[in-house]
């Protein structure tokens, strides 16, 4: 029996909370277990079977993560470049999440539940490699897949 799809508002809240919690895992606060919690909340937000919805959840997660994570850019270069960089980084997370939904829906993966976690890790690492080289020649800040 298929599980009912979660409500849209609940999944959006999961994504935003996940991004904010993931930011707390980095050195400023150093609560490293929150990286697991934050990404797990993103995965829960990605349960719907729509790549567009997955991209939106990835974008919300990315904004909730990058806006506070690279707050220093506001002081270094100003508000507009800080927000632009956060939006660009969130866009890459959005694309990564859309790819994850496509991978998860694939016929090969559909019946192979044990492969989902490693495959998510691979998709996430590839998304972070893209962020490492784009935009502006790369911006590897906030990588989880070292």
Question: What pLDDT, in 10s, does the model give residues 65-89?
Answer: 999 999 998 899 999 999 999 999 9
Question: Does residue 145 lie in a domain region?
Answer: no
Question: Does residue 139 lie in a domain region?
Answer: no
The total number of structural domains in the chain stands at: 1
Render pLDDT for 98-120 as a digit per residue (tens, 0 to 9): 999 999 888 677 777 788 889 99
Angle between helices 8-23 and 51-69 (to 10 degrees): 30
Question: Does residue 140 lie in a domain region?
Answer: no
Are 50 and 105 a contacting pair, CB within 8 Å? no
Question: Does residue 63 lie in a domain region?
Answer: yes
What range does the domain containing 86 cover?
A: 8-133
Q: How far is the C-alpha of 9 from the C-alpha of 5, rounded, in Å?
A: 12
Render pLDDT for 12-70 as a digit per residue (tens, 0 to 9): 999 999 999 999 999 888 899 999 999 999 999 999 889 999 999 999 999 999 999 99
pLDDT value of residue 1: 54
Structure tokens at 66: 């990058």
Q: Predicted confidence band at 127 (pLDDT cuts at 50, 70, 90)?
A: very high
Question: Does residue 50 lie in a domain region?
Answer: yes
Question: Does residue 94 lie in a domain region?
Answer: yes
Burial class (CB in 10 A: 0-12, 13-18, 19+), 76: exposed
Question: Does residue 143 lie in a domain region?
Answer: no
């Amino acid at each position: 029996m298929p599980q009912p799809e979660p409500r849209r508002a609940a999944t959006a809240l999961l994504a935003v909370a996940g991004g904010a919690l993931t930011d707390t895992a980095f050195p400023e606060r150093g609560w490293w277990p929150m990286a697991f919690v934050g990404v797990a909340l993103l995965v829960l937000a990605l349960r719907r079977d729509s790549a567009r919805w997955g991209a939106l959840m990835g974008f919300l997660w990315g904004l909730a993560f990058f806006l506070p994570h690279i707050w220093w850019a506001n002081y270094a270069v100003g508000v507009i470049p800080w927000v632009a960089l956060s939006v660009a980084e969130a866009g890459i997370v959005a694309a990564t999440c859309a790819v994850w939904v496509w991978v998860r829906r694939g016929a090969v993966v559909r019946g192979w539940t044990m492969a989902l976690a490693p495959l998510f890790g691979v998709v996430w690492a590839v998304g972070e490699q893209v962020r490492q080289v784009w935009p502006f020649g790369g911006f590897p800040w906030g990588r989880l897949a070292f």
